[in-house]
Structure 1
Amino acid sequence: MLDPHRLSVFRAVVAGGSVQAAADNLGLTSSAVSQHLSALARETGLVLFQRAGRGITPTPAGLELAAQSEEAMSQWGRLDSVVADLREGRSGRLTVGYFSSAGAAWMPRLVKRLTKELPDITVKLVLTEVTSRNVTPDIDIVIDPPDGGGRPGYRKVPLATDPFVAVIPTRHHLVHERTVALADLRSETWVSNDLVGSLGHRIVVSACAAAGFTPRFTVQAQEYHSAIQFVAAGVGISVMPRLAARSLPPDVTRLRITDPTPMREISALVRETARPNPAAERLLEMLLDLNTHPARRGRVP
């Protein structure tokens, strides 16, 4: 079995680019770092580094070991945190995955309430839409793909249906309307608010195709806050999830979209474990309650 400490020293050398850099970062002597590298090479039977001028550089095998060990080291760090929690008398740790609009709209109040009810718990929040690799959340708030596929080791609990809305500047000619047919936006200049090819982008483009047109994206903002600022400046309109358009500046407003209404489904994935996880179940209860009573999170048109 590989020694986790030696593996972490090895990864520090790969990341730092040299034995001396790793030694400085880890608070070790360069001799101690070299000894750990030699011991790891014997354990693995691999040549992990090769000479490059006066220094060393990872071999292809070394680079692969560094890449593949990331998940194992992440899990080891999680176990180390569990030990620290037990030693310091904390009752547990909860890792929660989320995407940005759900994080902004729901998580601050829910985490505050959860930690008030369970003061000994440590909550770790992970923005999984940009950091999904090597993360195993206890509960993960996700956007369902159209095929409704699940995730091994998790049970899926539907939370909410989130319709998309049109975000327009207040000087737009549609500003006095409450709803707009999607086809009526065909001639508008569009500002994207998601990555091309992402699930949210595909939902919007698919709905536009159903309405008989392809949107003309002039600005690829790729995230909600920037897109809203482009709309405020009068560059164009944007179609985004209602959850992302909860808080808008005074010179921007939103309209409901009809014929058709793009929709995204939001679910919680709860990790199935051998032992009950009361904190995860309590957070799930809060999420379900929040989405059963929309007034508690603030309605938007």
Structure 2
Amino acid sequence: MLDLTRLRTFRAVLASGSVNGAAANLGYTPSAVSQQLHALQRETGLELLERRGRGLVPTTIGRRFAAEAEALLEQATRLECLAADLRGGRTGSLVITHIASVGASWIPAVAATLSREFPDLRLDLRLWELTQGAGSDTDVEIAVDLPGTDSEKIRDGYDTEELLTEPYVVVLPAGHRLASRTEVPLKELYGEAWVDNDIARGACRRILLDACAAQGFTPIFQLETQDYGAAVAFVEAGAGITVMPRLSYSSVRADPGKVAVATLVEPTPERTIVVRTRRTGAGSPAIARLLELLRAKVAGQRPKQAVNSAAPGRVRA
């Protein structure tokens, strides 16, 4: 069993580049740091560091070891925080993974309400596009449903509720030939200069590309960004068009004088936003309240003050 203190000391030496620097940062003596490093190398049987000039640098093996140790230390820190919360009688923490558009549109108000009503609750918010549901420590996941993929299989132990099915919209420069339309057939975007906006080329992009493929073409992405707001800014500048789910567009502060927005039709690409909750947390008042707040956001209604854990919603086990 690896000693976590030695791992943290090793990481501190790498970050500071010297034993003395790590000792100053950690509040140890240099000899204590050196002893921790020697003990870790004996413990692992690996040569993790080598001297270069007056400093220390990781060996090739050390760099690989450090990368794996980082994930272990993050998990250990979360476990230590949880233990501290439980010892202090606090509610604990809630890990919420969410898609970017929900993070911009819904999560700030939802998180503020939860923090106010559950002051001892620690919220750990993460971007779903960067994990694609791969994390095993998520309590609540607000994601894009893509039936028939492995994303459903890795969510065993969770209940799934559909929140919203929404269309995609095309964002056009104000002077574009299609700018006066409220609906635009997808095939009319063939040959246009597209601005990509998907942070991870994940589920949302796949839905769009599949719809284009059904019409017999592939979008020409002349500019690629990883942010909805940046993509709309390019459109405002006249660099091309961009396509995104309706909620994603509503999360962006676009200049209505510079862009026009139309719903895509024939076909209408759609994405379904779902919320997945860990079954072991089914009795949590905080999770029940979170679900109520999300349903209220979807309905466009102001959330009620009372918690109603039996609020309606279609749930899949």
Q: Report the TM-score, using the length of structure 1 for normalisation.
A: 0.87
The number of aligned residues is 296
Q: Which moved more, 1:266-275 or 1:111-120?
A: 266-275
One-letter amino acid matched to 2:224: Q
Mark the CA change 1:126 to 1:68 in structure 2 (over 3 Å): closer, same or farther: same
Find the residue that maps to 2:56 and give its secondary structure.
strand
Find the residue that maps to 1:219 and give its secondary structure.
strand
* Cross-structure match for 2:141: 140
C-alpha distance in structure 1 between counterparts of 2:30 and 2:279, whole Å:
44
Is 1:36 matched up with 2:45? no
Per-residue CA distance 1:138-158 (angstroms, 9 max, x = gap): 112122335243224541413
C-alpha distance in structure 1 between counterparts of 2:288 and 2:200, whole Å:
35
C-alpha distance in structure 2 between counterparts of 1:66 and 1:281, whole Å:
39
C-alpha distance in structure 1 between counterparts of 2:120 and 2:78, whole Å:
17
One-letter amino acid matched to 2:255: P
Q: Which moved more, 1:105-114 or 1:121-130?
A: 121-130
C-alpha distance in structure 1 between counterparts of 2:6 and 2:198, whole Å:
41
Mark the CA change 1:134 to 1:42 in structure 2 (over 3 Å): closer, same or farther: farther
C-alpha distance in structure 2 between counterparts of 1:69 and 1:128, whole Å:
23
CA contact (8 A) 2:129 2:202 kept: no
- Over aligned residues, Cα RMSD in angstroms? 2.6
* Cross-structure match for 1:266: 273
Is 1:112 matched up with 2:112? yes
Shift of 1:177: 1.6
Shift of 1:159: 2.3
Find the residue that maps to 1:129 and give its secondary structure.
helix
Shift of 1:268: 2.0
C-alpha distance in structure 2 between counterparts of 1:192 and 1:128, whole Å:
18
Mark the CA change 1:155 to 1:245 in structure 2 (over 3 Å): closer, same or farther: same
Per-residue CA distance 1:181-208 (angstroms, 9 max, x = gap): 0011113221111258433222222211
C-alpha distance in structure 2 between counterparts of 1:229 and 1:160, whole Å:
26
CA contact (8 A) 2:129 2:200 kept: no
C-alpha distance in structure 2 between counterparts of 1:295 and 1:262, whole Å:
26
CA contact (8 A) 1:154 1:271 kept: yes
Uncovered stretches (5+) of structure 2, i.e. residues with no partner: 304-317
Uncovered stretches (5+) of structure 1, i.e. residues with no partner: none
C-alpha distance in structure 2 between counterparts of 1:102 and 1:67, whole Å:
31
Is 1:155 matched up with 2:152? no
One-letter amino acid matched to 1:204: L
* Cross-structure match for 2:101: 101
Mark the CA change 1:46 to 1:121 in structure 2 (over 3 Å): closer, same or farther: same
* Cross-structure match for 2:306: none
Q: Report the TM-score, using the length of structure 2 for normalisation.
A: 0.83
* Cross-structure match for 2:197: 193
Per-residue CA distance 1:236-274 (angstroms, 9 max, x = gap): 111111111014222223111101112222222323438
* Cross-structure match for 1:249: 255
Per-residue CA distance 1:89-144 (angstroms, 9 max, x = gap): 53221121112111001101111122222222121212242367867221121223
